[in-house]
Amino acid sequence: MRIAAFLLPLILPMLASAADFAKAIPRSCRQVVLVTTADWAAAVASLQRFERAEPGAEWSPVGQALPARIGERGLAWGSGLHAEPRGAARKREGDRRAPAGVFRITGAFGVAEKIGGLRLPVTLLSSTLEAVDDPASRHYNRIVDRARVAHPDWRSSEKMGAIPDYVLGLVVAHNPRRVPGAGSCIFLHLWLPRRTGTAGCTVLRERDLTTLVRWLDAARGPVLVQLPRAEAAGWPATSARGS
């Protein structure tokens, strides 16, 4: 049965209620970036950092909540560390929704003056660096240097060095198995003026993005959690001590 688009915000929260996202946060994780929205259809978001001293310790907020924007059509369940609720709407390539769930943050990218001294793996932007979003490509959902690929097989990609939004960003491990059509190249990156929503990424003002990127540490196993506020309610107070 086909579900009308206007009913999705009513149905998705009911389907999501069975997902305990806190259990998906790895025990070794000591940094969480929590992005929440008013509901499944909202593009306006809030980002809060959390940290803990060691596995099993209590989570503590870091700094103030920061304004953010996500996909212009809101959220849909992505593929990451969490179990995806059965029957729930899932993120698809080109749906202009951000992925909901729990995801590793695996690295940073940007121009040289922005990424020096970071505690994350970094990728320097260049004129040949591309984010491949063609589901038919063997390089789907990867950042590749076109100059180093013998036989480029994609028809669609983002030329990252030519995109002002990408002077600084973070790589989100959404769809790590690179399932064709399940969504690709999800980042946290710069929020340019007048942008009210994105194609699926999460964006922050420059000073806030810089603060976030310089706080993150690969040794602390950072993850991104994105959910409507109703689904995130009670965390971290309800988070299991063993997680």
Two structure tokens written together for 151: 């036989």
Residue at 3 is within a domain: no
pLDDT in the model for residue 17: 39
Nearest to 42 by CA among 196, 187, 152, 174: 196
Residue at 192 is within a domain: yes
Tell me the per-residue pLDDT of 114-146, one tens digit each, with 9 for 90 and over: 999 999 999 999 999 999 999 999 999 999 999
Residue at 124 is within a domain: yes
Residue at 5 is within a domain: no
pLDDT in the model for residue 166: 98
Domain of residue 197 covers 27-232
How many angstroms separate the CA atoms of 41 and 21, rounded? 19
Question: What single-letter DSSP state applies at residue 113?
Answer: H
- Strand, helix or coil at 63? strand
State the Rg of the chain over Cα.
Answer: 17
Residue at 61 is within a domain: yes
pLDDT in the model for residue 108: 98
Residue at 209 is within a domain: yes
Parallel, antiparallel or unpaired: strands 202-204 and 60-69: antiparallel
What are the two backbone dihedrals, phi and then psi, of residue 223, each rounded to the nearest 5 degrees? Answer: -130, 155
pLDDT in the model for residue 99: 98
pLDDT by 10s per residue, the chain, length 243: 344 444 444 444 433 433 478 899 999 999 999 999 999 999 999 999 999 999 989 999 999 999 999 999 999 999 999 988 888 889 999 999 999 999 999 999 999 999 999 999 999 999 999 999 999 999 999 999 999 999 999 999 999 999 999 999 999 999 999 999 999 999 999 999 888 899 999 999 999 999 999 999 999 999 999 999 999 988 886 554 446
Residue at 119 is within a domain: yes
The answer to whether the beta carbons of residues 174 and 79 sit under 8 Å apart is: yes
pLDDT in the model for residue 15: 39
pLDDT in the model for residue 3: 42
Residue at 51 is within a domain: yes
pLDDT in the model for residue 238: 53
pLDDT in the model for residue 234: 84
pTM of the shown model: 0.91
Q: State the total domains in the chain.
A: 1
pLDDT in the model for residue 187: 98
Q: Check the CA dihedral 78-83-85-86 and report its sign.
A: positive
pLDDT in the model for residue 16: 46
